[in-house]
Amino acid sequence: MTSPQAQKTTPTSSTPPLHSQVSTPEQGITIQVLDRAMRLLDALARDDEPMALKDLALATGLHTSTTHRILNDLVVGRYVERVDNGLYRLGMRLLELGSLVKARLNVRTIALEHMRELHKATGQTVNLALRQGDEIVYVERAWNEYSGMQVVRAIGGHAPLHLTSSGKLFLTAWDNQQVRAYVLRTGLAGNTRNSITQLADLDRELALVRRHGYARDNEELELGVRCIAAGIYDEGGELIAGLSVSAPADRLHDTWIPILQDTADKISQALGYEPYRRNNN
């Protein structure tokens, strides 16, 4: 149940406050510090100018010391920025997260028609996958009942990065230290006899991916299924998705690689990506 203080300071703007997007009024927010942090973010979002500590405390109904403590944590996380004169404003981390959400929403919409064309050209299942932590999650697919195989992972399904063609693309975007941290976290658990379960083998595989610009899954996630994947990049040149073709192991053709890469490039360019940016980095 919402506290009297929260009711008193509920924004009148047409834009719903951050905390209203997290839980329903009936549920409320059960973690008090999160509720207070979101109220502070809401207060900062309502004012175009940086705000003083005392004004934020007044706007949220929080004690000044509580406001100061939570703001300090938000500053460390870059959700809030402290300007030179002791005022506060929303931080760049929120912009980064908002850009990610926007890109992920856009890529699915933009990619679908291109995916259907790729499916027509290959006759096989075409998948769109995003990274979520140490896994990829499948967010869209193009296929029909006449495709050469049933879909291995349905939309919303997920799989470890090192066992999938799209996942390997994301691993190549990491430096050696990040890849080794991934290995320690996951233990490189395998699904089949073809799965890569040793760091040295993974390093060799990622070197091939970097060299060729596409990745393979050689029956590493599921026996009888092979995949090839190419990366999709946003306007800043960041890898945001993997586009893959999945087929029965004996029907996957390397002749599909150029059209796969061309399709991924078209989606990237529709997202604002300019190829010279990646080539010059």
User: What is the residue-averaged pLDDT of the chain?
Assistant: 85
pLDDT per residue over 146-193, tens digit each? 655 554 567 888 999 999 999 999 999 999 999 999 999 999 999 999
What's the pLDDT at 103?
A: 65
Query: Which domains are delineated in the chain?
Result: 4-90 (1.10.10.10), 95-279 (3.30.450.40)
- Report the C-alpha gap between 177 and 37 in whole angstroms: 33
pLDDT per residue over 93-137, tens digit each? 888 787 777 666 688 899 999 999 999 999 999 999 999 999 999
What's the pLDDT at 105?
A: 67
pLDDT per residue over 47-98, tens digit each? 889 999 999 999 999 999 999 999 999 999 999 999 988 899 999 888 878 7
Q: What single-letter DSSP state applies at residue 89? A: E
- Report the C-alpha gap between 125 and 122 in whole angstroms: 8
Q: At what angle do helices 92-122 and 257-270 cross, to 10 degrees?
A: 140
pLDDT per residue over 254-273, tens digit each? 999 999 999 999 999 998 88
Question: Nearest Cα to 163, choosing from 188, 129, 133?
Answer: 188
pLDDT per residue over 202-219, tens digit each? 999 999 999 999 999 999
Q: At what angle do helices 32-46 and 64-76 cross, to 10 degrees?
A: 80
142 contacts 119 by C-beta, under 8 angstroms = yes
User: Measured in Å, how far apart are the chain's first and last C-alpha atoms?
Assistant: 51
- Report the C-alpha gap between 72 and 269 in whole angstroms: 40
Mean pLDDT of 32-39: 91
What's the pLDDT at 55?
A: 94
- Report the C-alpha gap between 223 and 72 in whole angstroms: 51
pLDDT per residue over 94-105, tens digit each? 887 877 776 666
What's the pLDDT at 104?
A: 66
